[in-house]
Amino acid sequence: MFGLIGNFGPWELAFILVIVLVIFGPGKLPQLGESVGKALNSFKKAREEDDKVIED
């Protein structure tokens, strides 16, 4: 899947950050980061639970 995207360098990441700032604005950026963090944590927890079920 990630082979189609290619490698991201520092310039590409900076460009993506600028686009995110323009779309969401600097005020909503902390809320967006918190939401992404919570989603990643819940995904990780669900994956670990699935691994435990598979091991049992």
pLDDT for 1 equals: 46
Contact in structure between 24 and 15 (CB atoms under 8 Å): no
pLDDT recorded at residue 40: 92
Would the pLDDT of 2 be above 60? no
Question: Which pTM was predicted?
Answer: 0.56
Write the CB contacts of 49 (distance below 8 Å, at least 6 apart in sequence).
none
**Which domains, ranges and CATH numbers included, belong to the chain?**
2-55 (1.20.5)
Number of other residues whose CB lies within 10 A of the CB of residue 20:
13
What pLDDT band is residue 3 in, cutting at 50, 70 and 90?
low
N-term to C-term CA, the chain: 30
What is the tens place of the pLDDT at every residue in 18-51?
A: 998 898 888 888 898 899 899 999 999 999 998 8
